[in-house]
Amino acid sequence: MVAIDPDFQQKRQVVDKHFEHDIWGPVEAPEVLGIHGTHVAVDFDICIGDGSCIEVCPVDVFEWFDTPGTNPHKVHPELPAMIKDAKADPIREADCIDCMACETACPVLAIKISV
């Protein structure tokens, strides 16, 4: 099973910012997009656009971010098919109350909350 690397902060580098959050590389846009966020981290190369995280978050941390041309199967060929060509972007990461609902809800384990 694919899952976001829980040790990504030790293994990856911050390569850019997006809104108020960091992007952890490597990034080869548009296909490979890295991990968005740190406290609320979403591996954009695992996210298949399921949207459960957006539905369950009680404080609306996430917004859809359109990612035309993204190809998570390049990094993880075993992933199920994409549901939506967009990612759950943790644009209000600072509002997270650590309820963990998103981490639990994501069917492909793309989210890691670091408390």
**Binding positions for ligand F3S, rule: CB under 6 A:** 40, 42, 47-53, 56-59, 61, 88, 96-102, 105-106, 108, 110-111, 113
Residue 1 makes CB contacts below 8 A (sequence gap 6+) with 109
Please pick, from the candidates 12, 18, 76, 84, the single residue that binds Zn ion as defined by CB under 5 A.
18
Does position 50 interact with Zn ion (CB under 5 A)? The reply is no
Which does residue 15 bind out of Zn ion, ligand F3S, none, counting CB within 5 to 8 angstroms by kind?
none
Residues that bind Zn ion (CB under 5 A): 18, 36, 89
